[in-house]
Chain A
């Protein structure tokens, strides 16, 4: 099976970039682009060929037999979608960082290392392996931000790294405990998911692992690394961060925490402040994240912070979808992972690459007088389209995803669903405000000629924008494309515990 090569090709690409003779920036870019295109082609082929969405074993070899650890790669419908997302974002990220001039080879080497590790997480079916790739992700993202970043980059990078390490420490405690309790024979996801862990064990292991992963998914109140990290990161890195790295957290929540410890979602048997289970708690945190993220985005002065906080809000939808525990909500969460990945990538690309690299400011008040809708109309159009998609206009992926989650949430938590409404309204408001202030502040006024004029939007940027918008529209018009592989995956034996335990 070819899918394993997504990991190897990315790592080999990174290695090749480091060995490339110095001073050939174009060659480095092209090589990186080629690498990501090849990996994308592989994921796309797998996605097209594998319509059933059932589990697909890619490779399975013994690794550390005395501890029952295997090198086991496999993909089901959910991982296929996220692999595809990674492929798309990887290409777009390179197109949008075509203008990187400083230490080009190293930049793309770290970039490909990150991509390879992300592919690895989505493909791992052995928990040790998954954790290995999950940890590897941290190092390149630290370097990408700390070397090529902007505003307070060292602070942002370190904060992100420490949050990630603490999160993975929590995950590891839970995984080790599960491994030991299950008899220390196997680290395979399937074996552990099948093991009937005692209820009280699941009751503490579930929140531990879930929160450990959810830190990376930007769950309120552990989200603070995200806005600072996104803002500090160079464009491509923010696209990857919001596009796929945050998805790693959400994927871990669904794939590991919820399948391993489904009973942890069940009722405690008592109520605290009206909350009767971890499920209620996390659903509440998700809703707070949605509303809080949107409201904070509404008052930001820095354009990139607006998008950074909007990510918190959208990631809240994913977590809420997971907590609904019904088919609609869970499937919606997966679609939202894809949708937010594409759209957040696009928004960060507009803000970081199209606007900031030209205007050299992200201050909304300063951007207004520049009359960007005339100066760089393509950026304005892209932002409008991306913004519409992000607020959930029908025809785009965001609409499908959020609608599914909302209906799912309506069934599970009617009250929360109402609160989410506030978040959606605020979501419209902050996009509108940012759009108006950044691009159309003085729309009626004739543009004063800028000295020097802003460079026009380049071809790679246009291609990248079209790719991402295309992906969003495709899913928006034909969501069945994703749902066809998600639903069988949700009905696979892996999710048995969840279905039998607390599925509604």
Chain B
């Protein structure tokens, strides 16, 4: 274990940082008129290298580095691959987004890369201060990214709102870390686990846990910490929304998993009810909120709140399978959500000409392929079989049922039935309404990079839905790092199904 050089444990992060710095440095050397595409392609190559490095890490023995602040294991690798993948497709679909609109395109790529570095650090950190660092790196980059359409008032509003509320939430998280240190004398997750298990100062610990839950709840936009979501998603550029509605959530969920399952595993009687409430609130508020939305981005924002709720259902299960289900669902959700926002970014363009549902009327006629891709993403969001969303939900609810949470499962399934309404409404706009030629907007033809990105996402949605075995095994391997006696039956060790009682 000691033979592994510490640098190798953060190899993906190093590669991404180097790429980001190079992009940053090269940007001012190029003349103002040159296209920034080469920079984007360079960023893509860096991302590919980082993904390869993450995959290679799978062969490393699990272990820690940098004085117990970083731990690479199957779990961290899973999230590294996921965040790397999200970054990759985001770069692909936004390669032409800013063309001719902004003078700071190079920085856009650099910020995306740095943001991903922060998130990756979060997923492998087992030291809360390291988590905090990663959180700040990623958050500050995304604050800027949210306001990237500088001439647009809503974009600026989104950025400010995200920044103010985000820093507030981060402060909560930091306060929780401080209290944790006060109670256990450490900020290392494993030491915290020992401290929590010893049972000293439970009140302080509960407070610390609550604070951290608030901070992370904000990041994953779980109710009741979701209020910023619709406004920010509405204002931020669509490709950025695709990125920030998935990658930071994945990272925050990874941290949440580490904190609750490892750090506070013995205090599960406290956080399970809290997460239960958050899950129910997120699903219900998200879906009810989306029902009345006419603005497509706001609708998807509420839908993402609901999906955060489904994910929390998996958390609440507190079992190896629950963990695997949470990992799997994060991946499934990322594929379909990035896809949906990518298609919106393509159809509505840089200046967001298609905002409302009715702007999408009959677009299937004019953009058959883009609409078909959108249909697949929407069907997956509903949870129709043979898509990632279906198997993800099935797995999440199976594991929750396994832990005896059948009330939560019932609420969740009824919610997902209800959710079909607004996704179908969007779908029917695309396919059923007559196309209004008067509203014709000449879009730039889809670039190969964009098509490739969408193709990857569609393939991911279908593969995760039809032959999920490989990703499932990876997710279960990640879960096994927490529950050594893993496998399908591991959950029984922790929680007996209490359906019979």
Contacts and interface: CB of A to CB of B under 8 A. Distances in A.
Q: Are A and B a genuine interacting pair, yes or no?
A: yes
B379 A139 contact: yes
A169 B469 contact: no
B419 to A, nearest CB: 9
B414 interface: yes
A169 B379 contact: no
B102 interface: no
Query: What is the interface residue range for chain A against chain B?
Result: 35 or more
Contact of B469 (A66, A133, A154, A166): A66
Interface in A150-176: 154, 157-158, 161-162, 165-166, 168-170, 172-173, 176
Contacts of B55: none
Contact of A67 (B398, B409, B418, B424): B398
A353 B182 CA distance: 78
Interface string A45-68: 000000000000000000011111
B421 A158 contact: yes
Interface string B395-406: 101100110001
B428 A146 contact: yes
A180 interface: yes
A173 B432 contact: no
Contact of B417 (A68, A132, A158, A169): A169
Nearest to A65: B469
Nearest to A176: B401
A184 B500 contact: no
B499 A180 contact: yes
B417 A180 contact: no
Contact of B420 (A66, A161, A180): A161
Nearest to B406: A177
A165 B384 CA distance: 10
Interface string B421-457: 1001100100110000000000000000000000000
Interface in A55-113: 64-68
Contacts of A181: 497, 499-500
A21 to B, nearest CB: 14
Contact of A201 (B379, B488, B499): B499
A29 B402 CA distance: 48
A172 B401 CA distance: 11
A135 B476 contact: no
B277 interface: no
A173 B410 contact: yes
B175 interface: no
Interface in A107-149: 128, 131-133, 135-136, 138-139, 142-143, 146-147
Given A67-B395, A169-B413, A177 B401 contact: yes
A199 to B, nearest CB: 11
B472 interface: yes
A162 B398 CA distance: 22
B468 interface: yes
B390 interface: yes
B386 interface: yes
A421 interface: no
Nearest to B413: A169
A261 interface: no
B386 A132 contact: yes
A64 B424 contact: no
Interface string A164-198: 01101110110011011100110000000000001
A179 B410 CA distance: 15
B158 to A, nearest CB: 32
A232 B472 CA distance: 42
B384 A184 contact: no
A169 to B, nearest CB: 4
Contacts of A170: 413
Contact of B384 (A65, A139, A147): A139
Nearest to B428: A146
B476 A173 contact: no
B378 to A, nearest CB: 10
B185 to A, nearest CB: 40
B290 to A, nearest CB: 14
Given A135-B390, A166-B417, A176-B397, A161 B424 contact: yes
B196 to A, nearest CB: 29
A177 B469 contact: no
B424 to A, nearest CB: 6
B375 to A, nearest CB: 9
Nearest to B364: A106
B28 interface: no
Interface in A194-222: 198, 201
Nearest to B487: A66
Contacts of B152: none
Given A201-B499, A201-B500, A166 B424 contact: no
B416 interface: yes
B488 A162 contact: no
B138 to A, nearest CB: 32
B424 A172 contact: no
B38 interface: no
Interface string B133-145: 0000000000000
A184 B402 contact: yes
Contacts of B397: 172, 176
A173 B395 contact: no
A166 B419 CA distance: 10
A176 B325 CA distance: 15
Interface string B118-154: 0000000000000000000000000000000000000
B492 to A, nearest CB: 8
Contacts of B416: 165, 169
A158 B424 contact: yes
Contacts of B476: 66
Contacts of B489: 184
Contact of A177 (B394, B420, B499): B499
Contacts of B488: 66-68, 184-185
12 contacts: A67-B398, A132-B386, A132-B390, A135-B390, A136-B384, A162-B418, A166-B414, A166-B417, A172-B394, A180-B497, A184-B488, A185-B488
Given A68-B488, A180-B499, 4 more contacts: A67-B488, A139-B379, A172-B397, A173-B401
The 4 A-B residue pairs with the shortest CB-CB distance, nearest first, are: A165-B417, A169-B413, A132-B385, A169-B417
